[in-house]
Chain A
Amino acid sequence: MQQLLAPKNFYLWSGRWLRPVAWATGLCTLTGLYWGLVVAPPDYQQGDSYRIMFVHVPSAWMSLFVYAVMAGAGAVALVWRIKVAEVVASASAPIGAAFTALALMTGSLWGKPMWGTWWVWDARLTSELLLLFLYLGYMALEQAIEDRRTATRAAAVLALVGAVDLPIIHYSVEWWHTLHQAPTVTRFGAPAIHGSMLAPLLVMALAFFGYYVSLLLVRARCELLERERTNPWVGEVCRGIP
C-alpha cells in the first residue's frame, strides 16, 4: 500500500489495470443496456418509461460515491500531503459533475410524463442540484489558484465542507415529504423491485463504476505526469525505461 502511494508506482500499476477495467466496463455496459432495455419486463404502472432508471439510478449513486471519494482523497491530501491522493481528488471532480448532471437530466425527462413536471423544488432534487454546484465550485476554485498543490488543498477544504450534503441527499426522501420516491434498493430490508429488473440495474451500476475507475485512472495518470514533470521518473517512463 505504502509502495502504491509513490507517484511512479501508482503510474505503473494503474497502467497495467487500465485496459482490463475498460474492457470489463464496455462488456457490462453492453450487457446491462441490452438486459435493461430489451430483456427486462415493463413495469406494471409505468410501462416502458421506467427503463430510464437503468441510467438514472446508477448515475445518481455514482454522483454521491464520486463525491465521497473526492472528499476522502481531499482529506488524505490535506493531512498526509500524499500526491496520489491530491491527483485522485482533482481528477474525480469533472467525472462526478457529469454523473450529477446526467442524474438530474434523466430524472427531469422521466419526471415530465410520470409526475407531470420537469422540475420541482423538493428536498431530493434541490439537494442533488446543490451537489452539482459543489462540484462546479470545486473545479472553479481549483482553476483559480496558480500553484496546483495549493489549489488542490484549498479545494479539498471546500469538498469536505460540502460532504455534509451527501447524507442530506440520501435521507431527504425519508426526513421530509418529497415528490421523489423513497429508496428502492438502498434501504433496510429487501429491495422493492423485482429480480428481473434489479439484475440489469446492478449490472449497469457496475458499468458506471467501471467507467468512473477507467476515466479516473486516465485523468489521474495524465495529471500525475504534468505535476511531476520535473521529476526524473517521468522522463524514464516517457522514454520507455520503466
Chain B
Amino acid sequence: MTPRRQRIIAITLILAGVSAAAALGLTALSSNILFFYTPTQLLSGEVPPAAAIRLGGLVTKGSVKRTPDSLKISFDLTDQQHTVRVRYEGLLPDLFREGQGIVAQGRLAADRVFNANEVLAKHDENYMPPELAAHLPKVKDTAP
C-alpha cells in the first residue's frame, strides 16, 4: 500500500468517525437542542410542569387582548392542534401580529395560562413586495 493510499484511508476514517460521533451526540442531545416546545408538547405533559421553557406557535387571529394604559397583553398561542393562553407584559418585537409565529419564554401557571417574561417573533421564509401580498389576503401560515 502506497503512503498516499494510507493517507486517503486515514482521512476517510477521520471523517467517518467524526460524523458518527457528531450524529450520536446530536441525537442524544436532540431534545436540548430544540429551541422551543409546541403547545401540544406542553399540554401532553412532555414538559415538566412549572419548568421555565420556551413555547412556540402561531398567535390565533382575533385573540389578542391589550389592557389599556399598560403594556399588559394576552393572546392564544396555537400549533393548530392545541392552544395555550399566554400572558405577557412588556415590549413586543416589530413582527408580532395575529397569525404570526412567535416564541414565548416563561412557565405555565396553575390556572393553565402561560406566563411569559419574553416574547420573540419568529420570521417565516417568505419575502414579497406589499402589492403582491395585498393580492394574497391570507399568506400561507407556516407552522413553526
A binding-site residues for B, Cβ under 8 Å: 41-46, 49-50, 53, 75, 78-80, 113-117, 120-123, 157, 160-161, 163-164, 168, 175-179, 181-184, 187, 192-194, 196-197
Contact = CB atoms under 8 A, between A and B. Distances in A.
Interface in B124-144: 124-134, 139, 142, 144
A176 B93 contact: no
The 9 closest A-B pairs by CB, nearest first: A116-B93, A44-B133, A41-B129, A122-B35, A193-B127, A184-B125, A194-B128, A44-B130, A181-B125
Given A177-B35, A193-B126, 4 more contacts: A42-B130, A79-B7, A120-B120, A187-B125
Contacts of A44: 128-130, 132-134, 139
B51 interface: no
A114 B127 CA distance: 14
Interface in B37-57: 37-38, 56
Contacts of A164: 15, 18-19, 22
A177 B34 contact: yes
A197 B129 CA distance: 8
Given A44-B132, A46-B123, A163 B93 contact: no
A168 B130 CA distance: 34
Contacts of A115: 93, 95, 120-123
A183 to B, nearest CB: 7
Interface of B: 4, 7-8, 11, 14-15, 18-19, 22, 26, 30, 33-38, 56, 91-96, 103, 118-134, 139, 142, 144
A181 B123 contact: yes
A145 B71 CA distance: 58
A230 to B, nearest CB: 25
28 contacts: A41-B130, A44-B128, A44-B130, A44-B132, A45-B133, A46-B95, A75-B11, A78-B7, A78-B11, A79-B11, A80-B4, A113-B93, A114-B94, A114-B123, A115-B120, A115-B123, A121-B35, A123-B35, A160-B15, A164-B19, A175-B26, A177-B35, A181-B123, A183-B125, A187-B125, A192-B126, A194-B127, A197-B129
Contacts of A157: 14
Contacts of B92: 116
Contacts of B11: 75, 78-79, 160
A178 B35 CA distance: 5
B22 A194 contact: no
B119 A120 contact: no
A78 B139 CA distance: 51
Contacts of B38: 177
B127 A197 contact: yes
Contacts of A176: 30, 33-35
A122 B124 CA distance: 16
A176 B7 CA distance: 36
Given A44-B129, A157-B14, A164-B18, A181 B103 contact: no
A83 to B, nearest CB: 16
| Of A80, A121, A176, most B-chain CB atoms within 10 Å | A176
Contact of A79 (B4, B18, B119): B4
A117 B15 contact: no
B7 A179 contact: no
Contacts of A194: 127-129, 132
A164 B15 CA distance: 8
A123 B36 CA distance: 11
Contacts of A80: 4
Contacts of B30: 175-176
